[in-house]
Amino acid sequence: MRKNNSNMRQNWFKYVCIVGIVVLIIGNINNKNFFSMSLFDILTLIIMLFVSYYLVEKKSDKRIRQSKIEETLNLIKKDIEEITITYFTGDYQRKYTMLSRRISNKVIILEKYDKDFCIENEVKEFKDKFLQFDTLIGNHITNIDEIKVVMKDIENYKDMMLQKLDNIFMGIF
């Protein structure tokens, strides 16, 4: 849906530009000075168009990367918040293993872009807290009674990881 809206806006903008140029040409068809430009004026115009296009695209690429990182952070946050005492029922070992892998994969994605946004330390701190969290649960995952005992520690790690995610989020903007 977002791509369709973006394409529609781009097409709409192109049509408006074309119509505007045609109106300018028709309005100045009898004005001989309108069509006469020196080589210097033409080169200046072309250079300015390329420079402005490059700068706009560069900013657009950065916004797209920020958006993807924000989406990744929100997915990690959702996964972390999912882990409560009620999470450890039924086939919780398999569920937790899948969740842990999913978060690990998202952290790898964050590590690919951390230098672009100067968030290396925040990502490393989050990764360290997540590894400690994962180790804590991994040490007790075979016994639900042990999980209940260490649930307070699990909640503390969750809070610390969510804080680290907030720090990463603040770092990308």
DSSP readout, 72-120? HHHHHHHHHHT-SGGGSSSSHHHHHHHHHHHHHHHHHHHHHHTTTTT-H
Q: What letter represents residue 2's amino acid? A: R
Least trusted range by pLDDT, from 44-48, 99-103, 149-153: 44-48
pLDDT digits 0-9 by tens, 26-59 = 877 777 776 677 778 778 888 988 888 887 777 7
118 to 76, 108, 131, 146, 167: CA distances (angstroms): 20, 16, 22, 39, 12
Q: Is pLDDT at 161 greater than 80 in this prediction?
A: yes
The model's confidence at residue 1, banded by pLDDT at 50, 70 and 90, is very low
> Which of 75, 142, 144 shows the shortest CA–CA distance to 104?
75
Q: Is pLDDT at 6 greater than 70 in this prediction?
A: no
Residue 96 to residue 135: CA distance in whole angstroms = 12
What mean pLDDT, rounded, does the chain reach? 86
Least trusted range by pLDDT, from 33-37, 75-79, 125-129: 33-37
Instruction: Give the per-residue pLDDT at 11.
Output: 76
Q: Does the predicted model carry a pTM greater than 0.75? A: no
Q: Are 118 and 139 in contact (CB under 8 A)?
A: no
User: Which overall architecture, per CATH, does domain 63-172 show?
Assistant: Up-down Bundle (1.20)
125-149: b or e for each residue (b if 16 or more CB lie within 10 Å)? bbbebbeebbebbeebbeeeeebee
